[in-house]
Structure 1
Amino acid sequence: MTVAQSPPRPLDDGLPQLRATLEDADGLLLCLDFDGTLAPIVDDPNAAVPSERNREAVASLAAAPSVTTAVVSGRALSDVRERIDGPSIYAGNHGLELARRGSIAVHPVARKRAARVDRVCSALEDSLASVPNCRIENKRLTGTVHVRSVPPAAESVVRRRTREAVDRFGGDALEISLGKRILEIGPDVPWGKGQAVELIAADVSPETVVVYIGDDVTDESAFRAVEPDGVGVRVGNDDPSSASYRVRAPADVAAFLSWLGSTGTGLVE
């Protein structure tokens, strides 16, 4: 179902309704993005860590029998698993990798096209080496060109050379998508965070409330996957989104997670 985009309402406006919904539910499936949601956005992606309040809140919710927690990130699966403990499910590379029930599944097309991603990333390491503060992250199944600290005058060069490399080594097999100050390179397949969340949700009771919290363009498919029966919460400003509600920053995410673990539900003893 397609959800029309409009500015999300402040989350505080929806807490009474959410509490009533949770009281009638069998449980809660809580799906969380990492960067910009559990961890503040930083110039160096390697330095990103969840806030202590978010770390503690996730651990508390993950330990509750009636709560299933999942992290759904653009980071590689091995990377995001090292950064936050507790969740029983992890989806990396925008859902192309999924760890659950003791095994890891990788999208078969993404696996086949990983060599193309590697060639693109290698080419960009050379062609963008002269651009100040431009960082190429090879995540095996996808690649990310970070432009957060790139001088504005050089951004057009980064975009042009990225497109040239993808056209040369990826052809129709790869695509470029935009995020917050990043260019994402990945397989041109109809799969993303939304499909990963749908797959995760298929394993829980139909009476389970699904909540997804994220901050970026890639999270919009996940918001569409959970709305309107579940709840999408966008972290950031009031730009139009498929999420119903918004909070401002990871600190507000921590407050909401704490609410879920206490006054929000009876799911955590």
Structure 2
Amino acid sequence: MSTLTPPSPIDEQRARIRSTLADASRLLLCLDFDGTLAPIVEEPDEATPTTANENALATLTSDPAVSTAIISGRALTDVRGRVDGPKMYAGNHGLELARRGSVAVHPVANKRASQVERVCETLETALESVPNYRIENKRLTGTVHVRSVPDDARPFVRRQTHAVVDQVGGDALEVSTGKRIYEIGPSIPWGKGNAVALIAADMPPDTVPIYIGDDVTDESAFRTVESDGIGVRVGGDEPSAASCRIDSPEAVARLLEWLGSVGIDALERGEPELRSISTRSVTDGSLSTATRSS
């Protein structure tokens, strides 16, 4: 296993990105939502993408050489209601995948949803003495938000979360850590990277994938795209599987605008008739429920 290194600033990588796009005829652009298209806010229900990101994403989505997807830790119905335009969405860290007019749900996660619900209900009682905590039941997963919890109370929240998950879920559930959150989900080898891999497998072979995200849960997606494409981490210079970094959702908008002009121009689109055939092959083919494996 290779050692992770800090990703390079995006300005140092633009020539490489342009060269990678020049060797392709299509772009698959996958984006996280919170902290990427939308700034992180105290109240998760108030998160909205910036206007600049909405406009730049709409421009890219309308281009026939671009396929766009949102890959979020939010529930699928939640994230689909917050950003419009892309034809593909993955919710609950890839456990739900919407494409080609249908939704596939990981069957093991579906079976363990009742345990997630019991964990969330139990935690509401276990954490009732903690100020400003918030528990979000997303059916397939749950999130304990501690962004507004006093610093000295967060260790208690962490211990209680792990204790309740162990008590209710046993080996069926696990806890992972994100940016001021604790994620509760099925203990199965599945994440955002798996959803990206399924989407990418549906693309023509000369498609370059780009993934943009800001959290620990995005690392599996970075690993998925970096072999053939580009991973872009939003945030600091912590070691990451992504090769590039930018510092904020505002910088995401500037990158999307660059991709919508310089990046798209670099694509080798081929003859118009052939390009039309390639586009139809991506949007009209049949899709099996690829999330049947456990």
TM bin, normalised by shorter chain, reads: over 0.9
Q: Aligned-pair RMSD on alpha carbons?
A: 1.1
Alignment-derived partner of residue 47 in structure 1: 46
Alignment of 1:51-70 (within 5 A): 51-70=50-69
Alignment-derived partner of residue 86 in structure 2: 87
Say which one has the larger Rg: 2
> Letter of the aligned partner of 1:38 in structure 2?
L
> Letter of the aligned partner of 1:260 in structure 2?
L
**How far has the Cα of 1:155 moved from its partner?**
0.7
Q: Find the aligned partners of 1:147 and 1:223 in 2 and give their Cα distance.
A: 26
Alignment of 1:77-226 (within 5 A): 77-226=76-225
Q: Find the aligned partners of 1:221 and 1:3 in 2 and give their Cα distance.
A: 14
> Letter of the aligned partner of 2:197 in structure 1?
E
Alignment-derived partner of residue 9 in structure 2: 10
**Is the CA contact (8 Å cut-off) linking 1:3 and 1:228 kept in structure 2?**
no
The size of the alignment, in residue pairs, is 267
Alignment-derived partner of residue 26 in structure 1: 25
Identity %: 65
**How far has the Cα of 1:225 moved from its partner?**
0.5
Unaligned 5+ segments in structure 1 are none
SS of equivalent to 1:265? helix
**How far has the Cα of 1:165 moved from its partner?**
1.0
**Is the CA contact (8 Å cut-off) linking 1:69 and 1:87 kept in structure 2?**
yes
**How far has the Cα of 1:26 moved from its partner?**
1.5
Q: Find the aligned partners of 1:153 and 1:28 in 2 and give their Cα distance.
A: 46
1:103-151 deviation per Cα after TM superposition (whole angstroms, max 9, x unaligned): 0000000000000000000011111122101000000000000001100
Runs of 4 or more above 4 Å deviation: none
SS of equivalent to 2:121? helix
**How far has the Cα of 1:4 moved from its partner?**
3.5
**Is the CA contact (8 Å cut-off) linking 1:232 and 1:242 kept in structure 2?**
yes
Unaligned 5+ segments in structure 2 are 270-294
TM-score (norm 1): 0.97
TM-score (norm 2): 0.89
SS of equivalent to 1:262? helix
Mark the CA change 1:158 to 1:120 in structure 2 (over 3 Å): closer, same or farther: same
**How far has the Cα of 1:24 moved from its partner?**
2.4
SS of equivalent to 1:167? helix
> Letter of the aligned partner of 1:156 in structure 2?
P
**Is the CA contact (8 Å cut-off) linking 2:20 and 2:229 kept in structure 1?**
no
> Letter of the aligned partner of 2:141 in structure 1?
T
SS of equivalent to 2:13? helix
**Is the CA contact (8 Å cut-off) linking 2:59 and 2:260 kept in structure 1?**
yes
**Is the CA contact (8 Å cut-off) linking 1:19 and 1:265 kept in structure 2?**
no
Larger CA deviation: 182-191 vs 256-265: 256-265
